[in-house]
Structure 1
Amino acid sequence: MKMHWLGSAAVLPVVLASPALAAPPAPVPYTWTGFYVGLNAGGAWGRFGNSTTVDCNVPGFTPPGTFSYLCNTGFPGDGDLVAAAGTGSFNASGFTGGWQAGYNWQVSNVVAGLEGDLGVFRLQGSRQVSGVLDQSWKGTPFTVTNSASTDWLFTFRGRLGVTVVPNLLVYGTGGLAVTRVDTTTTYIDTNTFFLPFSGAAGSWNGSAIKVGYTVGVGAEYALANNWSVKAEWLYLNFGSITASGRIADLGGFGYSQALSTRTDLTANIARLGVNRKF
């Protein structure tokens, strides 16, 4: 009996320790590695810059029957005045939203990835400046209007960041940005010399798909079941496009002038998004 009691006492510590030995394993930290798709929406604000040039390097009379309307070689006339009216910038704001897809690789607490997105990018605005011709047709009121817009956006960017905690990623991003820019400039005046066909007018427009660049920062937080939410800011620069045209008197007397306007676009985006990792 004594030996049996001693044997039971020796086994008791093992039995008491068994629940600790059977404790569940610690949870595995979240990993960002993998493919994901998602949606985003937010606001965009941008600046269109315009620079208008009037072609004064032409003879006063160009066969077969065209006279310079604002200026010509040796006579600056009102070329600089109209060019200044068509030069300036204006702001535009609007909605942006669409979808994104990408892939992340995680090593320790560093996460690198590639992401592409495509969606709506609605910026539209205009500016209008009026003046009075002083040389060519003295005392004639005129107005120059610049307008520009965009409608869609595509970006393809790299992302590089670190996990502050396993479920929170902060990152920088940068890469390619593509959009279509439409621009229009119009000129109109009320030159009474051409009565009953009063005034002169013209409009020139251009549209081009512009490839630029984007840089930005963001933060993404992983939720349960491989869902995550993110907030992101992007700066975009698309360079410029040029539109050329001509104004002419409305009476058909043969007066005209060539003009051109260069329009550039820079913009910012602030947006929220949701992703699902697979």
Structure 2
Amino acid sequence: MRTSALRLLAATAAFIAVSSVQAADLPSRFSPAPAYDALPVFTWSGFYAGVNLGYGRSSGVSQYYDPAFNVTGGRRKSGFVGGVQGGYNYQLGMFVVGAEADLQYAAIGDKGATYLGTYYRGEEEGYFGTVRARAGLAVDRALVFGSLGFAYGDLGGNKDLDAALGYRRDDSTSGGWTLGGGLEYAVTDNFTAKLEGLYVNLDTSDSYSLAGRVNIRRDTEFSLFRAGLNYKFN
């Protein structure tokens, strides 16, 4: 009896072993878990360059010399601005810092005005540029930023009327400062679009007649709103 039981136990163990080996050779009914491939995280770090266009409005005035009242009068204008920009961003966590430079064409100078029967021809077109530090807060592909820096340009003002030389205005580049801010969004990993506002204040410039008298004083201040498109280099 004991011998029969031992033989039955040995046969059962052998059957289980053979079944296990055969089952290991069969294909599994369950697919293996796919390998996790994390999507790349967008970063604002890197160099970029692009173009912009927008609308500007002068808040400075051109004053005319009057022998009785010293300087008086004023003229303001709004119009088109457009140009190119380039810079570099560095992202650390949610914070982004960088620098940007731009060069702009602007048609926001004076059209001209008549004062006490004398017409002073305007200088509508000009240029300006800025070199600014930027800092902002990034939420994935959106960046809210502010900027502050140096501005320069030759923009706006009227030409004085010189008895010997006729209408003229000294072409000179003035320096000043600028501040602004905006919103930028990464449409793809390489292209970003932005909306930005800037205020620019350039030093006051004078225009002199042949006799050395100041006929026109140009106070160049203006604000602008522009849209831009940048290409970000990897």
Confirm or deny a common fold (TM above 0.5).
Answer: yes
**Mapped pair 1:43 → 2:55:** yes
Match of 2:152?
178
Does structure 2 conserve the Cα–Cα contact (< 8 Å) formed by 1:147 and 1:185?
no
Structure 2 match to 1:18: 32
Aligned equivalent of 1:260: 215
| Structure 1 alignment gaps of length 5 or more | 55-78, 131-141, 189-201, 248-256
In structure 2, the CA distance between the partners of 1:52 and 1:129, relative to structure 1 (3 Å rule), is closer
- Number of residue pairs the alignment of both structures matches: 214
**2:100 aligned residue:** 115
Counterpart selection for 2:187 from 216, 223, 230: 223
Whichever structure has more strand as a proportion of its residues is 1
RMSD: 3.1
Q: How does 1:97-112 map to 2 (within 5 A)?
A: 97-112=82-97
1:171-200 Cα distance to aligned partner (Å, 9 max, x none):
001111111135313499xxxxxxxxxxxx
Per-residue CA deviation, residues 7-55 of structure 1 (Å, 9 max, x unaligned), is: 8999xxx985831xx343221221000111111111111133234445x
In structure 2, stretches of 5+ residues that fail to align are: 1-14
CA contact (8 A) 2:48 2:88 kept: yes
Distance of 2:52 and 2:168 partners within structure 1: 36
Aligned to 2:107, the other structure's residue is in SS state: strand
- Counterparts of residues 1-278 of structure 1 (less than 5 Å): 1-3=15-17, 16=30, 18-19=32-33, 22-54=34-66, 79-81=67-69, 83=70, 87-125=72-110, 126-130=112-116, 142-143=117-118, 145=120, 147-163=122-138, 165-181=139-155, 183-186=158-161, 205-245=169-209, 258-278=213-233
Q: In structure 2, what is the Cα distance between the partners aligned to 1:147 and 1:226?
A: 42
The separation in 2 between residues aligned to 1:178 and 1:258, in whole angstroms, is 25
Task: Answer yes or no: is the 8 Å Cα contact 2:122–2:159 preserved in 1.
Answer: yes
CA distance in 2, matches of 1:96, 1:150: 10
Q: How much has 1:263 moved relative to structure 2?
A: 1.3
Q: Considering only CA atoms, is the larger Rg found in Structure 1 or Structure 2?
A: 2
